[in-house]
């Protein structure tokens, strides 16, 4: 869930480290195209029917869902995509986890939160990057006040990959 800034990195890691079939879900067509370029096997537009579409593609639901968005609607949609005994990995944050307990208990759903990972995880990512198996895709914008295109694109979800603006620093000698 979420194939842009962090999601496209997660897709590449999954494809490099596992034989899993990866289904990318996003509201942005550009992010979905990026997901396919990063190795996703299927793409699903988040149009209100995404949970059912994922269940249709998998047969009984996904073994795992990685939510790189973490907003209220993505949380419930992600859990609805899981098979019985599936695992929901919450990476993005900004929403509130509010789920019917009966759905979690009867579905034997595991919920895992993760902010960064461990030092060995980071070392593994650096290795994959060095091998060319993970590539950061980003959209750079010239530095302007944050009310301009870069912030608009980032918040509207229209930037492909990560958004960044080079910092303008003025250095003064220490006296």
Q: Name which of 12-16, 33-37, 72-76, 136-140 the model is least confident about.
A: 136-140
Higher pLDDT pick, 160 / 129:
129
Instruction: Name the token pair of 72.
Output: 């209220």
Q: Name which of 36-45, 95-104, 158-167 the model is least confident about.
A: 158-167
According to the CATH classification, is domain 7-119 in 3.40.50.720? yes
Higher pLDDT pick, 74 / 153:
74
> Chain-centre distance of CA 87, in angstroms?
15
pLDDT score for 140: 78
pLDDT score for 169: 47
- 84, pLDDT greater than 50: yes
pTM summary value: 0.80
H and E: helices and strands count for the chain: 7, 7
CA 22/CA 42 separation, integer angstroms: 7
> For residue 26, what are the CA distances in angstroms to 13, 44, 97, 117, 124?
18, 7, 19, 23, 26
Find the mean pLDDT for residues 118-140.
91
Q: What is the pLDDT of residues 26-44, one digit of tens each?
A: 999 999 999 999 999 999 9
Q: Give domain limits for the chain.
A: 7-119
What is the maximal distance between C-alpha atoms in the chain? 69
Find the mean pLDDT for residues 18-30.
96
pLDDT score for 117: 80
């Amino acid at each position: 869930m979420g194939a842009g800034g962090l999601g496209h990195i997660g897709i590449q890691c999954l494809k490099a480290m596992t034989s899993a079939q990866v289904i990318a879900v996003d509201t942005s067509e550009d992010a979905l195209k990026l997901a396919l370029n990063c190795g996703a096997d299927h793409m699903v537009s988040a149009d209100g029917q995404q949970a059912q579409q994922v269940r249709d593609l998998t047969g009984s639901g996904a073994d795992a869902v990685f939510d790189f968005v973490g907003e209220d609607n993505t949380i419930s949609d992600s859990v609805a995509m899981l098979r019985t005994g599936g695992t929901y990995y919450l990476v993005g944050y900004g929403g509130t986890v509010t789920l019917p307990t009966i759905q979690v208990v009867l579905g034997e759903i595991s919920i895992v939160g993760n902010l960064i990972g461990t030092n060995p995880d980071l070392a593994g990512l650096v290795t994959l990057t060095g091998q060319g198996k993970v590539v950061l895709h980003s959209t750079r914008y010239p530095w302007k006040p944050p009310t301009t295109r870069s912030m608009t694109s980032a918040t509207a979800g229209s930037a492909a990959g990560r958004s960044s603006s080079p910092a303008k620093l003025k250095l003064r000698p220490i006296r």
